[in-house]
Structure 1
Amino acid sequence: MRRKGSSFHQLRKRIPLDILEKARGTSLAVPVGGEIFHMVVGENASEITISLRTRDPREAKERQAVALAYLDSVWQALREGPKRLTQKQIAALAGEAYRELVASFEDNPGSPETWKQIVQLQIKSMAPDARERWFGPTVDLILAKHRLVVDKDSRSALISAVGVSVSQASVRLAQNAGGDYSPDTVVTRFPPLELSREAKSAKPLPKGSQTITGLAEGWWRENKMAGRAVSTHEAYQRVAQQLSEFLGHDDARAVTEDDIIAFKDHRLSQGVSLKTIGGGDISGIRQLYAWGIANRKVSHNPAEGVKVAKVKKKRTRDPGFTDEEAVAILSDAFHHKRTGKASAHLSNARRWVPWLCAYSGARIGEMVQLRKQDLRQENGLWIIRITPEAGTVKDGEYRDVPLHPHLVEQGFPEFVSKAANGHLFMKVFGDTEKAQRGAWRTTKNRVRDFVREIVTDPEVAPNHAWRHRFMTLGRNLGISRDVRFSITGHDTDAEGDDYGIATNEAKAAALAKYPRYEVKPLDRARQRVSEPVELPQLTE
């Protein structure tokens, strides 16, 4: 709202009745637009009134969300009692004061004498009331930044620690002013801040609030009906949970652009790749908030302006399997036999999935989810149907792929006819979507591992190397683009290709042109073709 006589937006918030008496007389340090608004709740107050110090309605909403999140943490602390900081947490928070002061002045610190005088003044200000005047506002700013409400002993100890760290920072700046920019040995003494969820005084959000994780669920309720992939929902759900845990709260309206940047830096510090952060994390958050704005769940998108550097990947070889690699993988698969306690479905996957991918250019995930009913004979042709009814298909559309004659000769139709109803290469425990996704991921990873036992070159991605090779061979054989794309499920982006279809007969004729793979003898099938490399689990 706006206060009469002022063009600035204003926040008015009622104090909850259950803590009204406790709140009166409480000192507050409310974050407003990067600054801290200090106030004491009056003895007769029943609400909090704060100027948001902006005329911009959108900016006012963002500042309101941050201020409300802080006030909610104060109310919860009053219900539960303030939290006590550990000595390590106090040292970490004091370190923030040190780094902030040094960073603010180190480029142009002025004269050494100025900082020496400041140090002397700080030494003289050792009385409790003097320390409060000097360092109390800084402590309140640090606590408000982390939405911390602490007990009196913790605050007093933190004021003393900040006093010491500010004196140390002044000494450092005096050195800088004298031209000494040697490595800072003091800053390494401060530990990183680690806060438990309890220390952050988290509480259930007020009725009507929108959670970060709730954005992911709301997005999925709508987009599931629109046919979006389960893997996309899993990715969005995962990053929403990670962001919520990193921030220590689940209030979607309280998230700022600075929070997203801090989250990006956090993910970088974990060793996560730029590709994952930019194309997965930040992109996912941006999409969830875009949905939230469109559905009036939130009023701003904190990820909108956050950028992540794009990686220019250096390629040193063809992304598809070479002739030698392809033959080595398929020879190993051809000779594979189930042994010991090995599961039947994973053994069958190792035997058949590489061959199915080699002769179709399909993704590993599309092949491992094949069911018995997905193979049929029609007009003398054996045809596989790749369909979202069986599991994940990237574009959400089915496609028919005739079997290459070599697969028929090897007995794949007979293998399918003898199999039990349901999935050929997956053992699903339970009838839930989650159970099926877990089984699908397990089989896909195991097939990837089988391939990596033979081809260990990290420049080759097992999930797409067959697709690259299939397309390359198709070009060399003169197979038309629309037929190749119809087999592999690629989108042509050409309007003319939307007219008419590539028939199964046309696709079968094209596949018959692909040369047969001649397998190695059993004693040579397990030969490696490159150096070993350790890879993370395949995810989507």
Structure 2
Amino acid sequence: MRRKGSTLIQFRKRIPKDVLGRAVGTTLAIPVGDEILHIVVSDKATEITGSLRTRDPREAKERQAVALAYLDSVWQSLREGPKRLTQKQIVALAGEAYREIVSSFEDNPGSPEMWKQIVQLQMKGMAEDARQQWFGPTADQVLAKHRLVVDSDSRSVLIGAIGVAVSQASVRLAQNAGGDYSPDTVVTRFPAVELPKQSQTSKPLPKRSQTITGLAEGWWREAKEAGRSVSTHEAYQRVATQLSEFLGHDDARAVTEDDIIAFKDHRLSQGVSLKTIGGGDISGIRQLYAWGVDNRKVTHNPAEGVKVAKVKKKRTRDPGFTEAEALAILSDAFHHKSMGKASSHLSNARRWVPWLCAYSGARVGEMVQLRKQDIRQEDGLWIMRITPDAGTVKDGEYRDVPLHPHLIEQGFPEFVSKAATGHLFMKVFGETEKAQRGAWRTTKNRVRDFVREIVTDPEVQPNHAWRHRFRTVSRDLGVSRDISFAITGHDTKDEGDKYGTITNKAKAAALAKYPKYEVRANGASQRD
């Protein structure tokens, strides 16, 4: 997310309910890049919010994964209770502070007097508040490095030990500043850090993690060049975000098969259909992880073995529009008049898109993205070209579809000739792919809403029923399957159908057989 008034990307993490009370007063030292973000949890806090110190989305996702992994370890530590450090552990942690200070300044230590003043300040003694102010952040940084949540006594003693270590480091750096780089005898007094074993439920803090949502972005960079559709990218991106939000973290490498099963159960509890979960959610996650494994982003595919039951949906009616439904929709479209401040593009969509779908079996999304240059006259035929250049086409291949004579009779070519250059039914604000995609989705959804005003039966899909009806009528008319598929853009499995070319002349002849939907001036309708 981005905070108002800032271009830096932020993260937000809700505090789990089971540790909400225990988190109050906890000092968090969240790793963000090369910095540490210090946050004290207040008694009113329900979430942790902080800046990721970057404007780069990819870098932000990596930093977010590290921050969330740290917070997860803190929540786990709070569940287990604060640790009490031993004397040896405190001295070892103070030694890390000593080594960090010396290594940071020994090459160019400055003047000896500066370091001697720090030593003298220490020798005079400091009040408790001053020690907290001077050495508390260093103590928190050392604890954060090891993901430790310690009791107040241990933290207080550690702050004192770090104060002594800083004083000793100052003596060492004063020697360096005077030109003395003899072997450091003080550093050997600090033992190696040996801390209590972490809980098995606590995951290691990654240095540069691969995020779940990052898998979707990485997959798309490659898939886009390979011609995959934008709608597939949106579906994968959506499920990656949903999985990340469900798990409470975005670390792709930490996801297990049990996590995917739990996510599946979660989606079921939300009322999502098994078809969507199996064919969309789990399939999408499986594909993203397969790409991640192939590209060495992750080492395993947690969705590989997860199965979703296939349920045969009970069908209580034909999925295509009935004759009466089709006539009702087309009559409404034919008599539609733009009113008030309604968008002319949406008004034109309501008028023409249902008729274009009825006489072509095309997808609604393919029709709403038609452009003026996609309609042409060739060899005495009016042709509309359905092409991915205009937006999205499911198989990524263009096809030419002759206009039905009734569309020409109604004046569709004249409408196109008078239209401005560009999209006929979409008003795109901006030149980005995102802007065009948003306009496409808006128009498609509005056409669906128009149809839903007339056909309310939930068993029929407003944006897909024209394809079913067109194929049904084509069979009744005896139109060969290869020609019918060439018009609708369905993929034939018959190898013989793939030989030769289905010409526009052949398609026009088939469409000429398709009877007209007649609508009368008074709104009544009949079929020739």
TM-score band w.r.t. shorter chain = 0.5 to 0.7
Paired residues of 1:77 and 1:83 also in contact (CA < 8 A) = no
Contact kept? 1:29, 1:39, Cα under 8 Å: no
After superposition, residues 361-376 of structure 1 pair within 5 angstroms as 361-376=361-376
Corresponding residue for 2:4?
Answer: none
2: CA distance, partners of 1:406 / 1:433: 34
- Give 1:76 deviation, angstroms: 4.3
Q: Distance in 1 between matches of 2:34 and 2:372?
A: 64
| 1:92-149 CA distance string (max 9 Å, x none) | xxxxxxxxxxxxxxxxxxxxxxxxxxxxxxxxxxxxxxxxxxxxx9xx97xx64x59x
Tell me, in whole angstroms, the C-alpha distance in 1 between the residues paired with 2:34 and 2:241.
32
Per-residue CA deviation, residues 450-505 of structure 1 (Å, 9 max, x unaligned), is 11111111111112111111111111111111100000000111111221111000
Q: How many residues align?
A: 358
Q: Cα–Cα, structure 1 residues 334 and 237, in superposed 2: closer, same or farther, change >3 Å?
A: same
For residues 493-504 of structure 1, the aligned pairs below 5 Å read 493-504=493-504
Q: Does the C-alpha gap of structure 1 residues 407 and 444 become closer, same or farther in structure 2, counting only changes over 3 Å?
A: same
In structure 2, relative to structure 1, the CA distance for the partners of 1:18 and 1:227 (3 Å cut) is closer
TM-score (norm 1): 0.62
Would the aligned equivalents of 2:350 and 2:447 in 1 still touch at CA under 8 Å?
yes
Work out whether residues 353 and 367 of structure 2, in 8 Å CA contact, stay in contact via their aligned partners in 1. yes
Aligned to 1:254: 254
Question: Compared with structure 1, are the counterparts of its residues 304 and 447 closer, same or farther at alpha carbon in structure 2 (3 Å cutoff)?
Answer: same
Contact 1:371 1:422 (8 Å CA) reproduced: yes
CA drift at 1:224: 0.3
1:446 is paired with a residue whose SS is helix
SS of the aligned residue for 2:401 comes to: strand
Runs of 4+ displaced beyond 2 Å: 16-19, 28-31, 38-46, 73-84, 520-525
> Partner of 1:319: helix, strand, or coil?
coil
* Secondary structure class of the residue paired with 1:377: strand
1:222 corresponds in structure 2 to 222
**In structure 2, distance between residues paired with 1:74 and 1:306:** 41
Conserved in 2, the CA contact under 8 Å of 1:350 and 1:450? yes
Q: 1:225-279, CA deviations, whole angstroms, 9 ceiling, x for partnerless residues?
A: 0000001001111111111122122111111011111111222222222221111
Give the residue type in structure 2 aligned to 1:481.
R
Partner of 1:281: 281
Q: Which residue of 2 aligns with 1:434?
A: 434
Residue 334 of structure 2 corresponds to residue 334 of structure 1:
yes
- Given that 2:401 and 2:504 are in contact with CA atoms closer than 8 Å, whether structure 1 keeps it comes out as yes
- In the other structure, the counterpart of 1:206 is 207
Q: In the TM superposition, what is the alpha-carbon distance from 1:30 to its structure 2 partner? A: 13
Identity %: 78
Secondary structure, counterpart of 1:321 in structure 2: coil
Distance 1:83 1:499 in 2: 77
Residue-by-residue CA offset, 1:322-354 (whole Å, 9 max, x unaligned): 111110000000000000111100000000000
Tell me which residue corresponds to 1:464: 464
Q: Which runs of 5+ in 2 are unaligned?
A: 1-32, 37-72, 77-82, 94-140, 153-195
Match status 1:405 vs 2:422: no
Amino acid at match of 2:481: R
Q: Which residue of 1 aligns with 2:392?
A: 392
Distance of 1:455 and 1:325 partners within structure 2: 7
Code of the residue aligned with 1:444 in structure 2: it is: K
* Secondary structure, counterpart of 1:454 in structure 2: coil
Give yes or no for contact 2:74–2:149 (8 Å, CA) kept in 1: no
Amino acid at match of 1:206: K
Matches within 5 A, 1:237-386: 237-386=237-386
Counterpart position of 2:193? none
- SS at 2:463 equivalent: helix
Give the CA deviation at 1:287: 0.3
Contact 1:425 1:443 in 2 (8 A): yes
Match of 1:463, SS state, is coil
CA shift at 1:39, angstroms?
13
1:468, 1:17 → 2: CA distance? 58
Unpaired segments ≥5 residues, structure 1: 1-15, 20-27, 32-37, 47-72, 85-136, 149-201, 526-540
Cα offset, 1:77, TM superposition: 8.1
Distance across 2 between alignment mates of 1:385 and 1:302: 42
Match of 1:510 in 2: 510
TM-score between the two structures when normalised by the length of structure 2: 0.63
SS at 2:519 equivalent: coil
Q: CA RMSD in A?
A: 3.2
Q: Distance in 2 between matches of 1:434 and 1:279?
A: 25
Which residue identity does 1:247 align to in structure 2?
L
**Matched residues in 1 for 2:326 and 2:241: separation?**
40
Aligned position for 2:129: none
Contact 1:333 1:350 in 2 (8 A): yes
After superposition, the C-alpha distances for 1:176-229 in whole angstroms (9 at most, x for unaligned) are xxxxxxxxxxxxxxxxxxxxxxxxxx98x523x311111111100111000000
Q: Distance in 2 between matches of 1:461 and 1:472?
A: 16
d(CA) in 1 for partners of 2:74, 2:248: 19
Cα distance, 1:522 vs. partner?
3.5
Alignment check: 8 A CA contact 2:143 2:149 kept: no
Specify the SS of the correspondent of 1:241.
helix
Question: Paired residue for 1:231?
Answer: 231
In structure 1, the residue matched to 2:56 is none
The answer to whether the 8 A contact 1:483-1:502 is kept is yes
Q: Contact 2:361–2:488 at 8 Å: present in 1 too?
A: yes
Question: 1:442 & 1:312 partners in 2: Cα distance?
Answer: 31
Aligned mates of 2:229, 2:298 — CA distance in 1: 24
SS of the counterpart of 1:376? strand
